[in-house]
Structure 1
Amino acid sequence: MIENEPPELPRGIALAWGVAANPQRGPKREMSVERIVEAAVDLADAEGIGAVSMAAVASALGFTPMSLYRYVSAKDDLLLLMQEHATGVPPESTRVLEGWRAKLLALYTEQVLLYQRHPWMLSLPITGSPITPNSSAWLDAALAALDGTPLTAEERVAVALAVTGSARWCGIVQAGYTEQSRGSGLSPDQVAVREAELYDRVITPEEFPALRSAIDHGVFTSPADPFRFAIERVLDGVTSYMAGLDRGAAHEQTTEWIELDPAEVAGDRRLRDAQKAVREAEKALRDARKVERQALRDAGERLARTRR
């Protein structure tokens, strides 16, 4: 083995880049990786990711599952290619805008729309950096938007990830409301009203004072977009940080990741038992405080009646 030889590309990634070997023999009728992936995406868009199987895709194309395996040898590879196809490339309009902030906000908006068009993408696990061409193009566009800023390479990636993460979180929530709408026959606005009514029944000011106040202010039926507000404030922070760098401030270096304790990762039985005991104690404390609050309310009502 040659020392320092680069790792071989997994077949799914090689297919995405168009460098995988084509099958020597295939079905007599026209077949290609592109047709397989397009059919799978159409199926996922119409019925959800749970409807996608090699047999279902083969049936949609009029072939046998074994015919597909000559082109895409594993379902995981198919899912990767589906995500790549649905992702596409960032619209050129996002690159011609003036200023890094306008470009990043445009990329954020386009990613939210992407998740609305293909909500099944949100159920696919994130297994690493975006190594496929289209996914790489989105990251490249975000980094290109930050060209000319005083941010370091690491900081530019961090900002790009913040934008992508915000878009994904917005997509997850919106996809959930859309799914509720489909299942209940209610419009998204009606789903929000029903949700607010359910909160109204169970959230008390004694137990959840801050949340109760938010409900009373109508946050669940407000037309305001909390996700857009959040990403705008994130970019406000980046703007302020850049201004400090322009004035000569030092870059903030954060190298500590949030990680589980190795003993917890290893599944130590004593640690799990201790954590379970803590959770049970915390639940008992919450229950006791709930009983205390109810007792105070009852005592207050009795006192009020005696004063009448």
Structure 2
Amino acid sequence: MTETEPPELPRGIALAWGVAADPQRGPKREMSVEKIVDAAVELADAEGIGAVSMAAVAAKLGFTPMSLYRYVSAKDDLLLLMQEQATGLPPESHLEADGWRDRLLALYEEQVLLYLRHPWMLSVPITGSPITPNSSAWLDASLAALESTPLSADERISVALAVTGDARWCGIVQAGYTAQSRGSGLTPEEVAVREATLYDRVITADEFPALRRAIEEDVFLSPADPFRFGVERMLDGVAAYISTLDRGEPRDPAGEWVALDPAELAGDRRLREAQKAVREAEKMLRTARKIERQTLREAGERLAKAKKIG
């Protein structure tokens, strides 16, 4: 039996861990991976991720793009290093919180703040686990917070990912409102009022009864944080599950990944056509039901008017 060689670290990950080979040629001392990443992060913070290119970063540093490629050979590697630097290490302050729940909430809040400080991070595609020092430190902090619980390794990673996902979703929405506020010149409160007004114009009780009731209860103008409520209730569920384990009850079996059918992944033409036909049929059904509701409402109005006249 022969031992298989471990896979070679991709260049970007090797750079993040400081184990990549240094360039043999290039500007002496004036250039470094750190300076390149610093300049790229400054550009992204000021102008968004779309402003970041090898040429733009080189111009900011006063060098040619080819000089950068000797240090960072691909833009994907640069994006990885930018994300790593902006992420930083989890603050030590979360260790001052009592218990696993408060520590996770502290980490959740800090992750949301990361996205608000560097909203461009939300535009960097997720292509797998970010196997970099700082990102690993955040995951380690979440898992460490749960070590005192009876949760299994699979269950601890599930909770950690749920908290991270909630923080990212909150960051996406808040960053979107901030961008809309800057672009429109409106305050975030004025943006919310405009959004509520638009909903009020298009959402009818006949077609979307539950959403209409929510609008009439001013849900889109509420100062309450729906994301914090959601993460708190998720942790309620984790706490309740831990209680069952403490009582010696059996663990819940882990579910399987949600996955597409292999035929859909392969881009099967007949399957795409069938799915399109289903979507068209569903659209026609919604339209027919809308006409039905409108007809019933108009008939009811006519009947009420006739009774009033009679």
| Correspondence 1:119-268 to 2 at 5 A | 119-268=119-268
Give, in whole Å, the separation in 2 of the partners of 1:31 and 1:292.
Answer: 69
Report whether the alignment pairs 1:43 with 2:26.
no
Q: How far 1:130 moved relative to its partner?
A: 2.5
Give, in whole Å, the separation in 1 of the partners of 2:245 and 2:294.
Answer: 54
What is the identity, as a one-letter code, of the residue corresponding to 1:252?
D
Give, in whole Å, the separation in 2 of the partners of 1:298 and 1:244.
Answer: 55
Which whole-Å deviations, capped at 9, do the CAs of 1:96-119 have from their partners, x for residues lacking one?
321000100000000000000000
What's 2:275 paired with?
Answer: 275
What is the identity, as a one-letter code, of the residue corresponding to 2:133?
P
Change (3 A) 1:211 1:42: same
Say which SS state the counterpart of residue 86 (structure 1) adopts.
Answer: helix
What is the identity, as a one-letter code, of the residue corresponding to 2:223?
P
What is the identity, as a one-letter code, of the residue corresponding to 1:80?
L
Q: How far 1:126 moved relative to its partner?
A: 1.0
Q: How far 1:263 moved relative to its partner?
A: 0.7
Give, in whole Å, the separation in 2 of the partners of 1:157 and 1:300.
Answer: 56
What's 2:99 paired with?
Answer: 99
What's 2:32 paired with?
Answer: 32
Give, in whole Å, the separation in 1 of the partners of 2:289 and 2:87.
Answer: 49
What's 1:90 paired with?
Answer: 90
Give, in whole Å, the separation in 2 of the partners of 1:300 and 1:179.
Answer: 46
Say which SS state the counterpart of residue 180 (structure 1) adopts.
Answer: helix
Unaligned segments of structure 2, at least 5 residues = none
Give, in whole Å, the separation in 1 of the partners of 2:55 and 2:95.
Answer: 40
Change (3 A) 1:137 1:29: closer
Which whole-Å deviations, capped at 9, do the CAs of 1:152-177 have from their partners, x for residues lacking one?
01100000000000000000001110
Q: How far 1:253 moved relative to its partner?
A: 1.8
Q: How far 1:269 moved relative to its partner?
A: 0.8
What is the identity, as a one-letter code, of the residue corresponding to 1:185?
G
Give, in whole Å, the separation in 2 of the partners of 1:56 and 1:130.
Answer: 25
- TM-score using structure 2 length: 0.97
Q: Which moved more, 1:23-32 or 1:36-45?
A: 23-32
Which whole-Å deviations, capped at 9, do the CAs of 1:57-94 have from their partners, x for residues lacking one?
00111111011011000000000000000000000001
Q: Percent identity?
A: 78
Q: How far 1:281 moved relative to its partner?
A: 0.3
